[in-house]
Structure 1
Amino acid sequence: MENTNITIKGMTCNHCKTAVESALTELEGVSGVEVDVKQGKAEVSYDSSKVTVSDMNEAVEEQGYDVK
């Protein structure tokens, strides 16, 4: 298992947090997600043989947020 932090711009509320968490947890290989709206980041635990950081970034961007 690996961990990564994704910096996300545009999150403002609990709805944003839920949208990002759902998008990430739906990806095969993601085992855990902790989203901090105030800090604008998501900490993700994942299996790098099943999912890439690029896949995760794309999933967040598809929800309408910018990944930095």
Structure 2
Amino acid sequence: MTTTEFTVTGMTCEHCERAVKSEVGEIDGVTAVSVSAATGHLAVTTNAGPVDTDEVLAAVDEAGYSAEAV
């Protein structure tokens, strides 16, 4: 398993967390997503190597927020 971490800006509540988790969770190969609006932290876990950073950034953008890899 490989976990890649991101910082997400613009999240303020549980609804925001669910939106990001839902979008990122749809990426092929993602097995777990952990997100916190309070800290702006996003962790994406896959079984086979690191997740495609561009795909995660696009998914977060689709949810309405901004992100960058840590």
Tell me, yes or no, whether TM beats 0.5.
yes
Corresponding residue pairs, total: 67
The one-character-per-residue Cα deviations of 1:1-59 (angstroms, maximum 9, x if unpaired) are: 2111110000000100000000011111100011111100111102347x411101110
Aligned to 1:9: 9
- Note if 1:26 corresponds to 2:26: yes
Structure 2: runs of 5+ lacking an equivalent? none
Structure 1: runs of 5+ lacking an equivalent? none
Counterpart secondary structure, 2:8: strand
Q: Which amino acid aligns with 2:42?
A: A
Judge conservation of contact 1:19–1:63 (CA < 8 Å) in 2.
Answer: yes
Counterpart secondary structure, 1:19: helix
Percent pairwise identity? 37
Counterpart secondary structure, 2:43: strand
Aligned to 1:63: 63
Counterpart secondary structure, 1:12: coil
